[in-house]
Amino acid sequence: MSLLRLASASLLNRWPVALLTALAIALSVTLLLGVERIRSGARDSFVGTVAGTDLIVGARGGALNLLLYSVFRIGNPTNNITWASYQDIAAHPDVAWIVPLSLGDSHFGFRVLGTNDDYFRHYRYRDGQPLRFAAGGPFTDLFDAVLGSEVAARLGYDLGREIVVAHGLGREGFARHDDKPFRVAGILERTGTPVDRTVHVSLEAIEAIHVDWQGGAPVPGRRVSAEAVRAMELRPRAVTAALVGLQSRLATFRVQRFVNEYRQEPLLAILPGATLQELWAILGTAEQALSAVTVMVVATALLGMVTMTLASLAERRREMAILRSVGASPRTILGLLTAEALLLGLAGTALGVLLLYGAQLALQPVIDSRYGLYLAIGAPSRRELAMLAGVVLAGTLAGLIPAWRAYRMSVADGMTVRT
């Protein structure tokens, strides 16, 4: 304890340099923990893109491809599910609810999703949060559309705005359904998921805009107006995929086997959580690269501390010699400089944690509302505590370098005037 008090007094005597060194360590610790919190927050948001869904059903193909086009609106399905097969799955006694998804159209680069009101009732994200409306509500008319928050914000749409969807997935689409425009009936709150970048319409509307289409193109000479299509029986013929909720988690593998062995057509049922983890593992390289960069930043700060201590040794030669002359052993000198490194590491780490929480309190609402990334404010995790302990330990070990040099200094060397 006396050695720590002596180290504290020594640092206070050189407080400007010590403060700058601690601040450099603090900023590197803030960056290290900030990246870790963003990494864990991004992982939680990624995994929480769809919650409460036990199975995702689509045409047989790759599990990752099914997840990408049904949840993240990336890519295209290998095939569709016939409406009869969809109804068979919905009628299974273990199925509590099922939500159809129909893709294939777009609006200025945003995917158009055909579904029904069950989508707004059962879709969950991030720890089971439901979809909420910032304005308006779900479909009440055949040509109603519900916009994700990013669609409305980027295109400047309000309730009642008339929009036209296009066939295809490009910025402009291959062909526009100009004769059957939609009206914005609702705008969803931001979720931080692909829902924000989606235009939602009813399944019946998807059928309505394609009644005079065949093979992905308008039928020549056939034109059905929006008024005429309202009188038709608009029964879906197929859907792209379906989200399935079960009566009990115990039935998950039983229903999955039922779908995978379905004889009427080749289908695939996947567990979204397991497939999301598989996809995240593929994306882990970028995560590791970012972590490596932050570790290098911490190493640079610690190197600066070592450089500062080494540079100050020339000025502290007389101080070391006086301590030796009053009875301090070389080990005491070694312990003094090591204790200084320990205190600088502890001070920098503590200040870095305070800076992190201050920045998180100030920026959390902005990050959540603008980027949909929720960074929970809580006590440091075990991984973060291990990181902090690693920084302090690394700083202490780094301090052994100048401490060892001071250890080898002699009294005569300290009292000698160098010219």
pLDDT in tens, 162-214: 999 987 665 554 577 888 899 999 999 988 889 999 999 999 999 998 887 76
CA distances from 78 to 104, 240, 282 (A): 12, 9, 22
Label the pairing between strands 182-188 and 133-136: antiparallel
| Mean pLDDT of the region 45-74 | 90
Percentage with pLDDT > 90 across the chain: 39
Among 210, 206, 242, residue whose Cα is nearest residue 89:
242
Residues 35 and 88 in one domain: no
| Residue 280 placed within a domain | no
pLDDT band at 412 (very low <50, low <70, confident <90, very high): very low
Residues 231 and 116 in one domain: yes
Residues 314 and 361 in one domain: yes
| Residue 278 placed within a domain | no
Handedness of CA 76, 81, 82, 86 (dihedral sign): negative
| Residue 193 placed within a domain | yes
Residues 162 and 195 in one domain: yes
| Mean pLDDT of the region 139-167 | 93
Higher-scoring residue by pLDDT: 318, 162: 162
Domain boundary pick from 245, 270, 295:
270
Domain boundary pick from 235, 270, 305:
270
Higher-scoring residue by pLDDT: 10, 207: 207
Q: Is the pLDDT of residue 329 over 80?
A: no
pTM listed for this prediction:
0.74
| Residue 346 placed within a domain | yes
Among 239, 247, 244, 238, residue whose Cα is nearest residue 272:
244
pLDDT at 411: 47
Residues 11 and 61 in one domain: no
- pLDDT tens string 260-314: 999 999 999 999 988 888 887 777 677 777 778 777 878 887 787 777 777 776 6
pLDDT band at 1 (very low <50, low <70, confident <90, very high): low
Higher-scoring residue by pLDDT: 117, 9: 117
Residues 89 and 229 in one domain: yes
Q: Are 32 and 391 a contacting pair, CB within 8 Å?
A: yes
Structural domain containing residue 319 = 2-46+285-415
**What contacts 82, CB < 8 A, 6 or more positions away?**
237, 238, 264, 265
Task: Quote the CA–CA distance of 260 and 248 in Å, as a whole number.
Answer: 19
Residues 229 and 96 in one domain: yes
| Residue 327 placed within a domain | yes
Residues 264 and 363 in one domain: no
Task: Quote the CA–CA distance of 71 and 408 in Å, as a whole number.
Answer: 65
| Residue 277 placed within a domain | no
Among 402, 406, 401, 343, residue whose Cα is nearest residue 5:
343
Residues 41 and 80 in one domain: no
For the chain, the average pLDDT equals 84
Residues 66 and 158 in one domain: yes
Residues 250 and 334 in one domain: no
State which of 220-234, 352-366, 404-418 shows the largest mean pLDDT.
352-366
Domain boundary pick from 244, 270, 296:
270
| Residue 275 placed within a domain | no
Domains: count for the chain: 2
pLDDT at 413: 55
Task: Quote the CA–CA distance of 7 and 347 in Å, as a whole number.
Answer: 13
CA distances from 45 to 38, 280, 359, 376 (A): 10, 11, 20, 11
Of the ranges 89-103, 190-204, 377-391, which one carries the lowest mean pLDDT score?
Answer: 377-391
| Residue 351 placed within a domain | yes
Residues 75 and 29 in one domain: no
